[in-house]
Structure 1
Amino acid sequence: MIYCEGVHKKYGKVRALHNVSISCRKGEILGLVGANGAGKTTLFKILLGLVTADHGKIEIAGDGAKKIGGIIEKPALYHYLNAHENLRLFAKMQGADSSKNALEASLEQVGLPVHRTDPVRNFSMGMKQRLGIAVALLNNPSCLLLDEPFSGLDPLGIEALKKLILDLTQQAQMTILISSHIIDVLSTVCTNLSIIHNGEIVQTGPTSTILAACTKSYSLCGNELKKAAFLSDYDTVSNGDCITISASATEISEIIFKLSQQQIAITSCRPLIDLQQLFNAKEK
């Protein structure tokens, strides 16, 4: 659905993208990961047609008036208008259905209240993100680009947005490309990851495989971890009811199994990813 091959882009003498190639299939969520200035936003702008690549091949598949929609950085909304008025205005700009029923269906699709009439400036960041996605979904695009959609959201907002993204892929078979610095979130929603560093894609592959290779320790939390004497065999650092433990993916599975055998409950297990290794990883 989304295909780029050999994309290059310079701003004057500054190289923003160099020989970038990515692909994303129907119903897939692809995560684009990289440090600030790596080239993520430039690539998104090229895919949305806001910036022209210097060289390279770009193909966006899909039917209808709009093949791809997206949000770059923050949703571009009119904060003095309410949600209905924002949607109606953008629908007319894009030649989409601006009837009351269509607008209410758009709001319901992203989980926003249909009867709220106060200005968007009163909305939480999560609600603004949802409204921005509703605007991006006007004219039913097959592909959706989300640039740092989780930034500024609280944990409940992140979970709600994750559910919306997963629903769009599962129910509408939408293809979604997401950039984010929040690796923990991408690990739970993305089928594959592409790592971009200094304008180049240095690695692409299954999310679990890429993150496991850059994970050397985990944060384990549980009320009775101190009772597990075997944990002294590992390099650990305690912090209240949690420990940081140096272990591979295979070892952490064995550790959790041993804890369950001793009836010691784990409340959370979080991989601690080496971001420097992730961003600088070279594809073999």
Structure 2
Amino acid sequence: MKEEILNKINQYERIIIHRHVRPDPDALGSQGGLAAIIKASFPEKEVYAVGEEDDSLIFLNKMDTVEDEMYRGSLVIICDTANSPRVSDTRYTLGETVIKIDHHPNEDPYGDLVWVDTAASSTSEMIMDFYLFGADKGLELNSNSARLLYAGIIGDTGRFLYSNTTEKTHRYAAMLIETGFAPSEIHENLYKISEKLVRLNGYVLQHFSIVDECVGYIHLTEETLQKYDASASEASLLVNSFSHVEGLLAWVFFVDEPDQIRVRLRSKGPVVNKIAAKFNGGGHPRASGATVYTNEETQSVLSELRKACIEYKTK
């Protein structure tokens, strides 16, 4: 599959790279890292990265402006996006050929070429795999692409703390650092936190609830977000605030947005991506996102999560 993808990249003069909505470091890292590798390797090609931007992550990579007609005859690559409805910028369908590169379970195999590796810690790790495959075939890795891939890897491994971290993950991180960027800059920017979020985190720690002695949850309303002057994206960063509470198996953050409710599901064992799939979402077995529109639906999500945890405890 890596050879087929490289052949497609060689074939096209214009390449437009997408990723999922509400980008996280791996989405931006894999998208931007791949774009930077292609630009360095094929300076004559037009390479663009598109999608909405997140103010807290704009230090990683800024998006390009692409007109509709530029998709005609172009290669489109979509990184780190399990389900087609979650692709940021639906114009990806205007491309001539679409490639999916992802490490989530392949429940929606959209695209003309699909490369999915659920054993990878991150899609950024997969892009490093792709670079190493093509290193003797013209692919080049510079410090800019390396810093982006490193950001994606530490983002999806929780700074190498999550169980998806492997020996290969550490080996790739070391290889990326050898290109000369400063890892401290990535860590400082990814994990800095504003005073308002510290105070909102205090609110979360005081007001989260636990049911069935194993499921944690909190609903951050629009009123609460306004009180702390925090956006839904900023509030979602606090999803692991109470994750270390003894006995907790899974937890969910509900965060109000103007026209919907953002859902963040996390787990220490119970499978949550199947729950997310029922509510306009998806993701990993232990870390997923979804979208609901009413308080009644939040209760349905919580009910599904409680059921999953109870079943997990009785296995």
Q: TM-score, normalised on structure 1?
A: 0.25
Q: TM-score, normalised on structure 2?
A: 0.24
Higher helix share: 2
Higher relative contact order (CA 8 A, sep 6+): 1
Higher strand share: 1
